[in-house]
Amino acid sequence: MDSLQNQKCEPCRSDSSPLSIDEARQLLVDIPGWKIESYDGVYRLIKKFNFDSFRSAFQFAAKISDIAEQEDHHPLITVEWGIATVHWWTHSISGLHQNDFIMAAKTDRSLTDSPVD
């Protein structure tokens, strides 16, 4: 199987079922450092990334926005001094889809492909 970071997001129909928590936990092992958390009953993948400055955290968020546009799958990103927190989930199904794990892997890869200043 192709690693998550090399896969492309597939269109997700609104009548698709979210991954079960067991299915999600199996995929979680492929994206170290990510957590599954529930917000208002909706599971999300979440990870905090630490940086040396606000500018670096913001540059990272901009890189993720470019990847999100390419894949047409968009996260919640919060930026504060030295921290960017990324949340992936699939809004149309109110839960986790394989696309979220693909995007989490691509998020991690973006740090090694071209580190931020």
> Considering the domain boundaries, does residue 6 fall inside one?
no
Q: How many domains does the chain have?
A: 1
> Considering the domain boundaries, does residue 26 fall inside one?
yes
> Considering the domain boundaries, does residue 9 fall inside one?
no
Q: Compute how many other C-beta atoms are within 10 angstroms of the C-beta atom of residue 29.
A: 8
The CATH number that applies at residue 45 is: 3.30.1360.20
Classified as helix, coil or strand, 38 is: strand
pLDDT per residue of the chain (117 residues) written in tens, 0 to 9: 358 777 777 777 778 889 999 999 999 999 999 999 999 999 999 999 999 999 999 999 999 999 999 999 999 999 999 999 999 999 999 999 999 999 999 999 998 876 555
Please tell me the pTM assigned to this model. 0.90
> Considering the domain boundaries, does residue 55 fall inside one?
yes
**What contacts 24+ positions apart, CB below 8 Å, involve 93-96?**
93/12, 93/14, 93/16, 93/17, 93/18, 94/18, 94/41, 94/42, 95/18, 95/19, 95/42, 95/43, 96/18, 96/19, 96/24, 96/36, 96/43, 96/44, 96/45
> Considering the domain boundaries, does residue 10 fall inside one?
no
Which domain range does residue 23 map to? 19-113
